[in-house]
Structure 1
């Protein structure tokens, strides 16, 4: 019997860096058990090149990413989501669409590396910091015994991950 594939959506405002990094990391680290997507409440229209470069440095695929609206995931025919993670502070306070299937949600806020102003080294450090934080949270999430946790314990666990 095959294991369930969990569908995960990562949301940030612009869908240009944090949510893109999360999508790439989850699809890689989830090893087929998870199918990740990303979206934004107000998509920037382009993926941050530093985010793609960071994924490439970690040996992850960089093709197929695009900045898109979270509306795509609340329409008929969208994947049935199991989890929705907000990875920025701005999206956490926004009224999210009604997700079909009522997936579990949590806020995993990370400072926006795309908003970093300064030298190239400072911008690169902001991206690296985001990757480290997101990767740690995704690894913690992947270590959870999902089928063994009841809904209350699972909701608490995914919310607690956002504080680490």
Structure 2
């Protein structure tokens, strides 16, 4: 699916603990994220990137200046961690978000 020379990293504008719902739905898809940790974005991080993808409006609005030499895409996703409801409702939203991200990543790998 991915090019062999791709390096994928994740960072955010705020540091949060690992969401157990994210761990659960990713494990359903065969991906173990239980050892992941939240990293903060800084300009050094940006300068090392070829492509930056922001995932929600909050990140787009608060993201530090993205260098002009770096490609940028915004995927306007709702944050499933903000969903209120039953456990089943919350997991459903996390699954929807996981599947949307997966589809977008697969589209990227076709370039």
Q: Same fold (TM over 0.5)?
A: yes
Shift in CA distance, 32/79, structure 1 to aligned 2, threshold 3 Å: farther
Q: Specify the alignment match of 1:51 in structure 2.
A: 22
Structure with greater strand share of residues: 1
Cα displacement (A) at 1:97: 4.1
Q: Specify the alignment match of 1:17 in structure 2.
A: none
Is 1:84 the counterpart of 2:52? The answer is: yes
Q: Specify the alignment match of 1:32 in structure 2.
A: 4
Shift in CA distance, 115/31, structure 1 to aligned 2, threshold 3 Å: same
Residue ranges of structure 2 left out of the alignment (5+ in a row): none
Cα displacement (A) at 1:30: 2.2
CA distance in 2, matches of 1:79, 1:96: 12
Number of aligned residues: 111
Secondary structure of the residue that 1:118 maps to in structure 2?
Answer: coil
96, 101, 105: which is aligned to 1:134?
A: 101
Q: Specify the alignment match of 1:125 in structure 2.
A: 92
Say if 2:3 and 2:109, in contact at 8 Å, map to a contact too: no
Q: Specify the alignment match of 1:16 in structure 2.
A: none
Q: Specify the alignment match of 1:41 in structure 2.
A: 13
Q: How does 1:62-101 map to 2 (within 5 A)?
A: 62-71=33-42, 74-75=43-44, 80-99=48-67
The normalised TM-score by structure 1 is 0.60
Shift in CA distance, 34/126, structure 1 to aligned 2, threshold 3 Å: same
Give CA-to-partner distance per residue, 1:95-135, whole Å, 9 cap, x none. 42455x83100111111001111100010011011011111
What is the RMSD of the two structures over their aligned residues, measured on CA atoms?
A: 2.2
